[in-house]
Amino acid sequence: EKELLGCHYTDFLRQDFKVEMIKIYNKQKAEHTPNTYHEFVILDKDQKEIWLGQNVQLIIENGEVVGFQALARDITIRRQAEEKLRIRSTELNVTNAKLAKALRAKDEFLANMSHELRTPLNAVLGKAEILLEGINGPLNEKQVASIQVIEESGNHLLDLINDILDVAKIEAGKISLDIQPVILANICESSMQFVRQMAHKKSIKLNADIDHSLKTC
């Protein structure tokens, strides 16, 4: 209390609040506003900041404002919590913006990849179809088998591209899964077609022993 004696109210206000609070009091007095509420910062003797929430009431005698009556309480903890929340909210907004940017980049990449891969792949598949139809001349059985592998592999790669795009659509909630039983033997045989030629070059024989009655989801 001794430290407060002889001190003016504004002596305790943080510098950026001094002019503002004086203007607020003058306005309240001029407009005869009975009650107001303000939040501001004061500094203690150690220059530690303390947030106060203050209700201010006019003292009026004979129609004239003769003073102010104020009741203040320490709201530092609340203001600190609000500041932490504000900072966290800002961080989340920044993170969400980065995530949205990354998702846009991924979508652009998938779209470009789809175009860049499909264009030459369609040309390969088209040429394989022409060869199989014998438009450029007859083929022997070995040539037909080789071109069929090319066609099957190309179609499989095209399916993979479509699957990648479908996964992106699923992540975006633009498509729903329709889970159905599949024949495992067909999947294994299709997969072996891709590596059988490389294995043959190294004199490696590939065999798949599968129970054809097996089905899975």
CA–CA distance from 151 to each of 127, 129, 188, 210 (Å)? 9, 8, 17, 24
Q: With bands split at pLDDT 50, 70 and 90, how would you rate the model's confidence at 4?
A: low
Mean pLDDT of 40-45: 91
E strand or H helix that includes residue 179: none
Q: Is domain 9-74 given the CATH code 3.40.50.12780 in the classification?
A: no
Sequence-ordered list of residues with C-beta below 8 angstroms from that of 13, at least 6 positions apart, any chain: 21, 40, 41, 42, 43
pLDDT at 175: 65
Residue indicated by tokens 């499909």: 118
What percentage of the chain reaches a pLDDT higher than 70? Answer: 89
Q: How far apart are the first and last CA of the chain?
A: 80
DSSP secondary structure letter of residue 37: E
All CATH 1.10.287.130 domain ranges in the chain, comma separated:
88-175
All CATH 3.30.450.20 domain ranges in the chain, comma separated:
9-74
Range in 115-129, 131-145, 194-208 the model is least confident about: 194-208
Q: What is the pTM of this model?
A: 0.51
Please choose, from the candidates 44, 54, 57, the residue with its C-alpha nearest in 3D space to the C-alpha of residue 75.
54
- Contacts of 1-6 spanning 24+ positions with Cβ under 8 A: 3/45
Range in 15-29, 102-116, 140-154, 177-191 the model is least confident about: 177-191
Architecture label for domain 88-175: Orthogonal Bundle (1.10)
Q: Are 165 and 125 in contact (CB under 8 A)?
A: no
pLDDT tens digits for 63-100? 899 999 999 999 999 999 999 999 999 999 999 999 99
Beta-bridge mates of residue 69: 57
Sequence-ordered list of residues with C-beta below 8 angstroms from that of 66, at least 6 positions apart, any chain: 59, 60
- Chain centroid to CA 186: how far? 39
pLDDT tens digits for 176-211? 667 777 777 777 777 777 677 677 778 888 777 777
DSSP secondary structure letter of residue 174: S
